A = this chain, B = another copy of it.
Amino acid sequence: MALAEAILVCLTDRPMSGYDLAKYFDASIGFFWRASHQQIYRELGRLRERELVESKEISQSGKPNRIVHTITDKGRAAVTGWSSKPVRMPSVKDELLVKLYALETVDTKAMREQISVRLEQHQSKLSEFKRIKSRFYDGKDLTVNQKGKLIALELGIDQELFRIAGWETVLRKMSDAGV
- Chain A residues in contact with chain B, CB under 8 A? 2, 5-6, 9-10, 12, 29-34, 76, 79-80, 83-107, 110-111, 114, 117-118, 121, 143-145, 147-149, 151-152, 154-155, 158-159, 162, 166, 169-170, 173-174, 177-179
Q: From A159, which residue of chain B is reached at the shortest CB distance? A: B166
Q: Are A170 and B151 in contact (CB under 8 A)?
A: yes
A-B contact pairs, 20 of them (CB 8 A): A5-B95, A9-B99, A9-B105, A30-B92, A33-B93, A33-B94, A33-B98, A76-B105, A80-B106, A80-B107, A83-B105, A83-B110, A87-B95, A87-B114, A91-B91, A97-B152, A102-B148, A144-B179, A147-B173, A159-B162
Contact B170 A166 (CB under 8 A): no
A102 to B9, CA, bound (A): 6
Closest residue of chain B to A121 (Cβ to Cβ) is B89
* Least Cβ–Cβ distance between A43 and chain B, in angstroms: 14
Closest 9 CB pairs of A and B: A103-B148, A83-B106, A32-B97, A84-B110, A84-B107, A147-B177, A90-B94, A100-B152, A87-B95
The residue that A91 contacts in the complex, of B6, B34, B84, B103, with Cβ under 8 A, is B34
- Chain B hits for A95, CB < 8 A: 2, 5, 33, 87-88, 90
B162 contacts A177, C-beta separation under 8 Å = no
Asked whether, in the complex, the Cβ of B101 is within 8 Å of the Cβ of A177, the reply is: no
Cβ-neighbour of A151 out of B80, B94, B148, B177 (below 8 A)? B177
A86 touches B114 (CB 8 A): yes
Residue of B nearest to A161 (CB): B162
